[in-house]
Amino acid sequence: MSNMDSWTNEVIRQWQVEKIELNASVTNDQINIAEQILNFTFPDQFKQLYLRANGFKDYDWRSNMFSIWPLESIMDEYLSNTNKNFIGFSDYLICSHCIGFMNDRKGIYKYCNEPEFYG
């Protein structure tokens, strides 16, 4: 088992322990279509995770108020957002802050009024 598979298994297991409802996985083809629409290539760990679980079902959230979006919501949010440089995939405090990627930089960013490096 690779480190990436181990990481993905651990994340999924933790969410299951927390009784978070997960959406069924997506396919590589669905990820490729999303990447074309978003004009962005997701990191490998992100792809591995979504090949196992397509975000939280019905915007379920963790006890710390984070929700992971399904691929369809990622694309919907991107298409409706005026900032085409930010690709959100998660929110905190029911969209008080969004977490995502920037098209022109590596890393993960928190977005409230302006993107801010998160990790």
pLDDT digits (tens, 9 = 90+) for 64-82: 567 889 999 999 989 988 8
Distance between CA atoms of 45 and 40, rounded to whole angstroms? 15
pLDDT band of residue 63 (cuts 50, 70, 90) is: low
Task: Report the candidate in 7, 98, 111, 115 with the shortest Cα–Cα distance to residue 51.
Answer: 7
Quote the pTM value.
0.82
- CA gap 83, 81 in Å, rounded: 5
